[in-house]
Amino acid sequence: MIKLSFLILLISTFSCVHAQQDFFQFKKKDKTIATFKKYSYIAFGLKDHQWYTGYVQEVKGDTFYVNPFILHVTMFGIDTVHLSMMEIPLKDVYAMPKRGVQFGYYNEKAVITHAGGHVHWVWIKNGLLFQTAGTAYIVLNVVNGIINNNFSFSGSKFGIAAAVLLVGELLHYTYKSYLRLGKKYYLQSIKITSS
């Protein structure tokens, strides 16, 4: 009985070792942000700035195979269109989306929506709050000035509103929904299987 148990344990161990496959990781310096293996969902941008979403079908060394898809939302439900299998070398990936970023589909292409998705405080990070507040304060002062017949662009009120609007514009210009790969962020392949 002990020999049979040992044989079953040995066979199951070898079958688990054989089942291991290559995978790759999205890293920030030495910290792993995400791990991708067979059947993992992935969203990525290539060097031509085109975004793709899909499921990893296989990872071989420094290359992964993905079957991208597009979701069409209609009044009858959601229709999924699968594109042909793509072979993507890790070096061709230009960017990865930030955590929580939401994707939409426009003209048969995946695009990052600017609705925020699940990104915390996105309306502050992308400057929308400051743009809205600055613009509203300017409009309020103009309307009040016209109503009270003392309209003037001089004064600290317009300076403060313009500064808030400028902060919003700067945040909007510098905010990105994705992380560009390079020295700080990169993809690293982990080779398990032997060819």
92-149 pLDDT per residue, tens:
999 998 887 777 777 777 777 766 555 556 667 777 788 888 888 888 888 887 888 8
Region of residue 116 (phi > 0: left; psi between -120 and 50: alpha; otherwise: beta): left
Distance of alpha carbon 87 from alpha carbon 50, whole angstroms: 15
Residue 108 DSSP one-character state: T
Name the strand (E) or helix (H) holding 47: none
- Looking at residue 163, its pLDDT comes to 85
Per-residue model confidence as pLDDT tens digits over 24-82: 889 998 898 999 999 999 989 998 888 998 899 999 888 899 988 887 777 887 778 77
Enumerate the domain spans of the chain: 21-119+177-190, 123-174
Closest residue by Cα to residue 178 from 121, 106, 93, 57:
93
- Report the C-alpha dihedral over residues 40, 44, 48, 49, rounded to 10 degrees: 150
Per-residue model confidence as pLDDT tens digits over 140-188: 888 887 888 877 767 677 788 888 888 888 877 777 878 888 889 988 8
Helix, strand, or coil (residue 182)? coil
In the numeric block, which tokens belong to residue 102? 């939401």
- Looking at residue 94, its pLDDT comes to 92
In the numeric block, which tokens belong to residue 20? 């291991």
Write the CA distances from 138 to 58, 143, 164, 165, 170, integer angstroms. Answer: 55, 9, 10, 9, 18
- Looking at residue 20, its pLDDT comes to 64
- Looking at residue 18, its pLDDT comes to 46
Distance of alpha carbon 115 from alpha carbon 122, whole angstroms: 9
- Looking at residue 195, its pLDDT comes to 52
- Looking at residue 31, its pLDDT comes to 92
Helix, strand, or coil (residue 57)? strand
- Looking at residue 4, its pLDDT comes to 56
Distance of alpha carbon 20 from alpha carbon 13, whole angstroms: 11
Residue 87 DSSP one-character state: E
Distance of alpha carbon 138 from alpha carbon 156, whole angstroms: 11
Distance of alpha carbon 156 from alpha carbon 141, whole angstroms: 11
- Looking at residue 104, its pLDDT comes to 72
- Say if CB 112 and CB 78 are below 8 A apart: no
